[in-house]
Chain A
């Protein structure tokens, strides 16, 4: 959002733009995102499937799939240094050390034919050359236990395909936390976990935040996790952030029509079973159909004047700390 970056920001994105070269030409996937995260805080990033959350995360880590993915505009500052221009060698020493990422699909992040013990030990060794092999193994085992994987050394010998979906996810979480990063980007970290293990993982992350001021960018579809865990939330739609506020403000008083529709689709325990659930009609606009103005217009059920969809919209601070894309139709 158009918040001015401050020197205390752990992470600050300004007008980030990123996308892909495809057979049909250039496709923008993230279209001018600005946000800031302070140490010790957690920012939730939510939004429709395909809206650009993972591309945002991968852009920050400079890990967009090569050779097609590129950051084409804006800046990414981590503790004040611009990651977009940092040489690869320096980036590599930050990644997995001072800043680390939990990927949405564990199987794309874990090496399929190396044991998880090998992979965890290597992650540790890369950033801690001093420790003895024994000390490293002890740290790995302790971390596995903290993420709730029992079985000790037997587990270290196993390969990713021998673990359950949620165990792979937790191996990746362990790997991301081993070096006690200052910035954690967690892309759907708990989708494969039951709610009791999920609570344990969120507690572990919160512990590290308290102990060392780790900042967390948490991408999730689970509004329960956002409500229970995050300090702030940003809501994305079609490559842009349409609303951002403290978690209390956003749930109590959502201002953008998309945010309201999203919150209204929450599945409820009291609902009548096996009946059709409320969903937002229509589909997210395909990347090539993005307009400059309000992209939610066709699905909002609200009358939009042509200017509101054709011209870029300002982002306004509608209450202290509550920012919304200013589309006259969608704003309430």
Chain B
């Protein structure tokens, strides 16, 4: 059985304006996304900045309520579950936030922050929690003296690791990792990724792994999904996707990976056209519209749901991009 089954999920933000705060527009941040996640599996999620990855992650663990669609977690339909129905499940699904400042209360010490999940779930005595917190600090590569300090006393990458320690404290079944290592140098990054791999091996944790570092995503993921403007446009096994990308946006992404070697320097390849906005998305295939592809108009008449082009390899079937 899948640990997570997401079907046709949408989340539209209402944008309000004027004195009466009436809805003046809406932002289709996530617009009809489906995928599944098995126990012990990692699904990588990549895509253009602003395409809806964070919103999707937050909706899946129900920090946001979906506008439409269904989320089945561990056999329960949590699409519209209430806060009290969700409380016991919080232990099983956690999120590492992209912006650590968003999740770390600046008035609490690091020790308090890491022990908070245990306190909320009523686990352990004071002494036990303290011991667990110290163990977690060590695992994310922070020294024990971090315990009584405050988040502002840390560098960006150190703060990110505090967020990771908090999220893995309860050993959840599902961890949404939103850019978990983007603030870390490559060596500390390796330490944290190794920690995630070990946790997965020991306990069969599943990850939705959101990141812009395509090398890292390939290393961590069993399968990878590529998002563009609120929709998944391609999804396949990691190896397959990187070797045989089918969608034009996936190809553009892989093509733009900056090679970490100045001897292989080359002109930057820039995408043409203006980035489309989810506030007024173009109809049909958004990437085709952006590239002003001659076949784009054909996508207007089509059902753009993913099609399986080879076993396990799914692509949006628009003629402009595939």
Contacts and interface: CB of A to CB of B under 8 A. Distances in A.
Contacts of B101: 105, 107-108
A251 B261 contact: yes
B153 interface: yes
Given A164-B49, A166-B50, A192-B182, A279 B194 contact: yes
Contacts of B256: 195-196, 198-199
- The residue in B53, B182, B193 that gathers the most chain A C-beta atoms within 10 A of its C-beta is B182
Q: Taking chain B's interface residues, is the majority helix, strand, or loop, or is none over half, making it mixed?
A: mixed
B296 to A, nearest CB: 17
A286 B98 CA distance: 26
Contact of B185 (A47, A163, A227): A47
A195 B214 contact: yes
Nearest to A227: B262
Contacts of A65: 152
Nearest to B16: A157
A150 interface: yes
Interface string A37-69: 000000000111110011000000000010000
B240 to A, nearest CB: 12
A225 interface: yes
- The residue in B152, B193, B215, B268 that gathers the most chain A C-beta atoms within 10 A of its C-beta is B268
Contact of B263 (A165, A169, A252): A252
B197 A276 contact: yes
B157 A50 contact: yes
A194 interface: yes
Given A167-B50, A265-B190, A191 B13 contact: no
B268 A267 contact: no
A167 B242 CA distance: 26
B48 A196 contact: yes
A251 B263 contact: yes
Contacts of A279: 187-188, 190-191, 194
B32 to A, nearest CB: 19
A105 B99 contact: yes
A86 interface: no
Contacts of A54: 155-156
Given A50-B158, A202-B268, A227-B261, A280 B197 contact: no
A227 B258 contact: yes
Interface string B213-241: 11110111110000000000000001100
B275 A149 contact: yes
A164 B15 CA distance: 15
B268 A49 contact: no
B265 A228 contact: yes
Contacts of A166: 49-50, 212
A150 B277 contact: yes
Contacts of A47: 185
B31 to A, nearest CB: 15
A190 B141 CA distance: 24
- The residue in A54, A150, A155, A168 that gathers the most chain B C-beta atoms within 10 A of its C-beta is A150
A106 B114 CA distance: 24
A192 B268 contact: no
B262 A191 contact: no
Contact of A273 (B152, B153, B219, B268): B219
Contacts of B100: 105
A224 B212 CA distance: 13
Contact of B268 (A106, A203, A247, A262): A203
B143 interface: yes
A118 B287 CA distance: 31
A195 B265 contact: no
Interface in A87-135: 104-108
Nearest to A271: B219
Contacts of B191: 279
B269 A199 contact: yes
A280 B275 CA distance: 40
A150 B184 contact: no
Contacts of B300: none
18 contacts: A50-B154, A104-B183, A162-B13, A164-B54, A167-B49, A170-B49, A196-B256, A200-B270, A224-B257, A226-B260, A228-B265, A251-B260, A267-B219, A269-B214, A273-B220, A274-B219, A279-B187, A283-B141
Interface of A: 20, 22, 46-50, 53-54, 65, 104-108, 145, 148-151, 154-155, 157-158, 162-170, 188, 191-200, 202-203, 221-229, 247-248, 251-252, 261-262, 265-269, 271, 273-280, 283, 286
Given A54-B155, A192-B212, 13 more contacts: A20-B153, A48-B185, A49-B156, A165-B54, A165-B99, A165-B178, A197-B48, A197-B275, A200-B270, A223-B260, A227-B258, A283-B142, A286-B145
Interface of B: 13, 15, 17, 25, 27, 42, 46-50, 52-55, 98-102, 141-143, 145, 149, 152-158, 161, 178-179, 182-191, 193-194, 197-198, 212-216, 218-222, 238-239, 242, 252-253, 256-266, 268-271, 274-277, 279-280
